Amino acid sequence: MTLTRRGAGELELLDMPGPSPGPHEVRIHVRACGVCRTDLHLVDDELPDVRVPVVPGHEVIGIVEKIGTDVTLLTQGQRVGVPWLGYACGACRFCERGQENLCINAEFTGYQRNGGYADGLVADERFVFPIPSSYGDAEAAPLMCAGLIGHRSYRMTGLARRLGIYGFGAAAHIVAQVAVFEGREVYAFTSPGDTRAQELARALGATWAGASVEPSPVELDAAIIFAPVGALVPEALSHVSAGGTVVCAGIHMSDIPAFPYRLLWGERTVRSVANLTRRDAADFLDLASRVRIRTHVREYDLTRANEALSDLRSGRVTGAAVLIT
């Protein structure tokens, strides 16, 4: 059973034969797949060059059920996760300088490669990772993108003691726990009126939680923007101190409006996060094995994927949505 995007807006349920792995690939029986906002952008035709049909999903947890002839890194029966980055060439100028996340020949799971909204998928063995046994399938799924991309974004804030987080969804609720564990102060900015997200932020240790239209109660050292709203960039800059950083963590964002230079002056930085590397995955999953991260998930049967996407689109998901096969 596979959910495939054939046109903009919705997915179609199909019965398709199980994919066969190539020499350096494994076939994975999917147990759970997180529903990421990037999936929503893909389904809503907000990403460039989306091929159709395509199977979305890049927060995959499953079991290796068949290995290719030349696979050496994984074994049959192993529980693994598959993230957004599904292939990098290793030979382009970005790969050669350790930036495989910017590989010009990259392929992404659920975008150029069929993903996890299905009973099974095939994946390049190099981009498949063992999952800590302390996490169940559903609670592990958000770690594979919300956790990985969130942690890469978090590291870009340096040693910020007072961290602002704009958009308190799947990635933010993971990052907040890591930041609190490391002794940072977290200030969570949510959509106006989203009291459930604010309550979750406080429950996870945030120092303060309020609406994104409210002024920050303190001057921030850095901020991460997870919400795909360009207007939040100057808003966050207005609350970040000199020398601070604003990190834009999404693959898609609405246009950033013009803003006065004084908001950027003082050696403030605005930067984006693009994708992830295998090193990101290894580092974060090692961290997750040592720091028990509580992922708050809402489970849906695979056949209810359109409902899950609709709930995410409408802001009805607190934490992360996860499809169960």
Among residues 194, 154, 95, 113, the alpha carbon closest in space to that of 284 is found at 154
Prediction pTM value: 0.93
Q: What's the confidence (pLDDT) of residue 232? A: 98
Q: What's the confidence (pLDDT) of residue 17? A: 81
Among residues 36, 81, 8, the alpha carbon closest in space to that of 249 is found at 36
**Mean pLDDT, the chain, whole residue set:** 95
Q: What's the confidence (pLDDT) of residue 6? A: 64
DSSP calls for 118-138: BSEEEEEGGG-EE--TTS-HH
Q: Model confidence at 1, in pLDDT bands (50, 70, 90)?
A: low
Residues 264, 130: Cα–Cα separation, whole Å: 41
- Where do the DSSP E strands lie in the chain? 2-5, 11-14, 25-35, 60-67, 79-82, 85-87, 107-108, 120-124, 129-130, 162-166, 185-190, 208-211, 220-225, 240-248, 269-272, 297-301, 320-324
Is residue 197 packed enough to be buried (19+ CB in 10 Å), middle (13-18) or exposed (0-12)? buried
pLDDT in tens, 231-246: 999 999 999 999 999 9
Q: What's the confidence (pLDDT) of residue 8? A: 65
Are 27 and 122 in contact, with CB atoms under 8 Å apart? yes
pLDDT in tens, 248-306: 999 999 999 999 999 999 999 999 999 999 999 999 999 999 999 999 999 999 999 99
Residues 44, 62: Cα–Cα separation, whole Å: 27
**Domains in the chain, start-ordered, CATH in brackets?**
2-145+275-324 (3.90.180.10), 157-272 (3.40.50.720)
For the record, the structure tokens of 288 come out as: 């997750």
Residues 170, 37: Cα–Cα separation, whole Å: 9
List the Cα angle 54/169/270 in 5-degree steps: 90
